[in-house]
A and B are shown apart, each in its own frame.
Chain A
Amino acid sequence: MYRYDQYDPAMVDTRVEEFRDQARRRIEGKLTDDQFKPLRLKNGLYLQLHAYMLRVAIPYGTLDSRQTRKLADIARKYDRGYGHFTTRQNIQYNWIKLEEAADLLGELATVEMHAIQTSGESIRNVSADQYAGAAADEIMDARPWAEMLRQMTNFIPEFSYLPRKFKIAVISSDTDRAALRWHDGAVKIVRNDTGEIGFEVYAGGGMGRTPFISFRIREFLPTGQIFSYLQAILRVWNRHARRDNIHKQRMKILVHELGEEEFRRQVEEEFQHFLTLGHDFPQEEYDRIAAYFAPPPFETGLAEDIDRSDPAFALWFDRQTAAHKAPGYAIVNISLKPIGEIPGDISAEQMDLVADLAERYSFDDLRATHAQNLVLPHVRKADLYAVWKALDDAGLAAANLDLITDIIACPGLDYCSLANARSIPVAQKISERFAGREAEIGELKLKISGCINACGHHHAGNIGILGVDKKGTENYQLLLGGSGAEDASQAKITGPGFDEDGIVNAVEKATEVYLARRQDGERFLDTYRRIGMEPFKEALYA
């Protein structure tokens, strides 16, 4: 994985001390709240319902054991013993004290981590396929490019004062595990007819109150021109962006208003200009970065056999592992969705455990996923049983990847100052209602947001739930038909909303329609697309 070079520690340490001084001045009354707020947000420090919340960047979701143990230490020392993995592969702490925040950031810096550009009108933490470097179906490891994009966009002032936030994702296979099309800008690594590797570029996606799926702005971009192309996109957005209206500042709105063809025309025009400036990195720089992501020393001649005599292990193996590019290895998905628990939450002790497993069994490599789970990317198949046993002992062996209890949920009104309704209790009730029925129902991605900002990705849920405020009480809208995968689609609202118990019943009715109408091999999403909304509405509102 990437390691800091000589510039990174100096930049991060400087920012820590700068923030220490800013926090001191705020506590001493030398800065007003209005003056301090943008400064703390530039360091990932929010003020939420119960306390300050710190969002820590995990570049493209990649951690090593040293970093994971530090995250556990921070949970114990500065928080209340746990953290929360987010839908952008980051981790949040919910109980941070302003007077300790600089010390915390200083500790993060010792393991090459920070919270910069996890908030504000900046290019946010670059996300990527959590299987990068391991997936059997990838063209190449996406992480060197994700790291290149991170370096191109971190610490650069002009990318910290954009019209609004800008989210980037990178994938390298036809299967989209990173919700690519829901990002402001995204690249898919592809190979053209001549065998050359390049980027398929997407622009204009995003969730929030006005959701849009991105469009393919470039079919093939030579890899060495990515910085020029990104700058061209940002310049066109900067030129036209509605900085006067916060609800129209995201680039997706501009793409919609200009139209895809006109947006592309302007970007291509700017791109030709940027190509003349020599801003793109030389091949040697890519090679230098890529060397940090060299494949680990996989053993050869390993057995592929799995001992399936323990049925609980066999169930977990079938659900939670994925094909690895190296013979004898598997990718392990660790569910952070035990039945009835809080999606994405993990205790300090569990963090220590997964750090140990990463170090011992996965070449010191751990990934966070946008679905609020974790991944051990490189586990020998011969070690899977031992890994499963350790996970099971720690309450981390749920076998529900991409099933109805593998719910994405934002913190909602239990923590978030923007939320209108609680998300987590709804997730817990649905999880408990469907426990044991996951396999019968099959793949069903259920996503819950506590407000229209859509941090819980409800627009992309096969079943989505949106919490709203209805005259001071919580109300939940049901949506159907969304997808964050390679077949991206936007979910549609079924009709009037439900109360907390009503929405759980509504989800059950929707699944009953699916089970009654599905044809061989159909997922929930397939059946919905075939039969449409009406049969579901009839069942829900009869």
Chain B
Amino acid sequence: MRILTGNDLKTGLVIWWTGQDWSLHVEDAVDVGGDAESILAQEDAACRVNGGYSLEAEREAGGGIRPLHIKDRVRALGPTVRPDLTLKPADPNAGSWVI
């Protein structure tokens, strides 16, 4: 599946396109198929995203979404060396999802 990401213009935080809006959680991302360019152009013009791009991801058995490239998995979780600053601070094994 092809999903969209970027950074929130004001806060810089990593965001994922949900089909309607942007979410901090990659699990909310939707497959945009061939519409990536048009969505990004629209969202960039509306000043809602910075540095947006599309990427390949796969749907996991449990329903989650896993970007194929490690860099995007790091973006999706947060710094693996500071679990307290990731989106899953209570999950001690969250870093293994990245690797």
Do A and B pair up? The answer is yes
Is B80 at the interface (CB under 8 A from chain A)? yes
User: Number of A residues whose C-beta is below 8 Å from B?
Assistant: 31
Interface centre among B68, B74, B85 (most CB of A within 10 A): B74
Contact, CB under 8 Å: A415 / B79:
yes
CA distance A99 to B47 in the complex (A): 13
Chain A stretch 32-62: residues in CB contact (< 8 A) with chain B = 32-33, 47, 49-52
Q: Are B14 and A50 in contact (CB under 8 A)?
A: yes
Q: Is the CB of A27 within 8 A of B9?
A: yes
Residues of B within 8 A of A500 (CB): 99
Assess whether A425 is interfacial by the CB under 8 Å rule: yes
Residues of B within 8 A of A95 (CB): 12, 85
Q: How far is the CB of B13 from chain A (nearest CB, A)?
A: 6
B1, chain A: closest CB distance, angstroms: 17
Q: Is B88 close to A, CB under 8 A?
A: no
How many chain-B residues does the 8 Å CB contact rule pick out? Answer: 26
Bound-complex Cα distance A123 to B18 (A) = 43
The answer to whether A414 and B74 have CB atoms under 8 Å apart is yes
Q: Which of B12, B78, B80 contacts A47 (CB 8 A)?
A: B12
Bound form: Cα–Cα A51–B46 in Å = 19
- In the complex, the answer to whether B10 meets A29 with C-beta atoms within 8 Å is no
Q: How many A-B residue pairs have CB under 8 A?
A: 74
User: B78 touching A428 by the CB < 8 A rule?
Assistant: no
State which of B12, B44, B69, B99 has its C-beta within 8 Å of the C-beta of A52.
B12
In the assembly, what is the distance between CA of A27 and CA of B50, in Å?
10
How many whole Å from A165's CB to the nearest CB in chain B? Answer: 22
Q: What string of 1s and 0s marks CB contacts (under 8 Å) between B85-98 and chain A?
A: 10000000000000
Which residues of chain A (68-99) have a CB below 8 Å from chain B?
Answer: 80, 94-99
* Residues of B41-64 whose CB lies within 8 A of A: 44-47, 50-51
Among A28, A33, A99, A413, contact of B51 (Cβ-Cβ < 8 Å): A33
The reply to whether B70 and A473 form a contact with Cβ atoms under 8 Å apart is yes
Q: In whole angstroms, what is the CA distance A105 to B89 when docked?
A: 30
* Structural contact, B81 and A27, CB atoms closer than 8 A: no
Contact B11 A29 (CB under 8 A): no
Q: Is B66 an interface residue (CB 8 A)?
A: no
A500 vs B98: C-alpha distance when bound (angstroms): 13
The answer to whether B79 and A414 have CB atoms under 8 Å apart is yes
- Say if the beta carbon of A468 comes within 8 Å of chain B: no
Chain B residue with Cβ nearest A101 = B12
Kindly name the residue among B79, B82, B85 whose own CB sees the greatest number of chain A CB atoms within 10 A.
B79
Question: How many Å from the CB of B32 to the closest CB on chain A?
Answer: 20
Contacting pair B13 A51 (CB below 8 A): yes
A474 to B98, CA, bound (A): 11
Contact B70 A97 (CB under 8 A): no
Mask for A485-522, Cβ within 8 A of B = 1, else 0?
00000000000000010000000000000000000000
Q: Which of A27, A32, A425, A428 meets B10, CB within 8 Å? A: A27
In the complex, what residues of A have CB within 8 A of residue B82's CB? 342, 414
List CB contacts (< 8 Å) of A351-368 with chain B.
none
Among candidates A28, A413, A428, residue contacting B47 with C-beta atoms closer than 8 Å: A28
The answer to whether the Cβ of A254 comes within 8 Å of any Cβ in the partner chain is no
Contact, CB under 8 Å: A51 / B47:
no
Task: Give the CA-CA distance A414 to B79 in the complex, in Å.
Answer: 5
Chain A residues positioned under 8 Å from B79 (CB to CB): 50, 94, 414-415
With both beta carbons as reference points, the residue of chain B lying nearest to A342 in the complex is identified as B81
Contact check, B70 vs A98: say whether CB atoms are below 8 A apart: no
Cα distance A428–B95 in the bound complex, in angstroms = 15
Taken together as a complex, chains A and B put the C-alpha atoms of A472 and B57 apart, in Å, by 13
Please name 13 further chain A to chain B contacts, defined as beta carbons within 8 Å, in addition to the given A26-B47, A27-B9, A94-B79, sorted by A numbering.
A27-B10, A27-B47, A49-B71, A50-B12, A50-B14, A50-B79, A51-B12, A51-B13, A52-B7, A97-B11, A342-B82, A414-B74, A472-B69
14 A-B pairs with CB atoms under 8 Å apart are A27-B47, A47-B12, A49-B71, A51-B7, A51-B11, A94-B79, A97-B10, A99-B11, A342-B82, A413-B74, A414-B82, A415-B79, A422-B74, A472-B70
Instruction: List the 5 closest pairs (A to B, CB-CB), nearest first.
Output: A51-B12, A52-B12, A414-B79, A29-B47, A99-B10
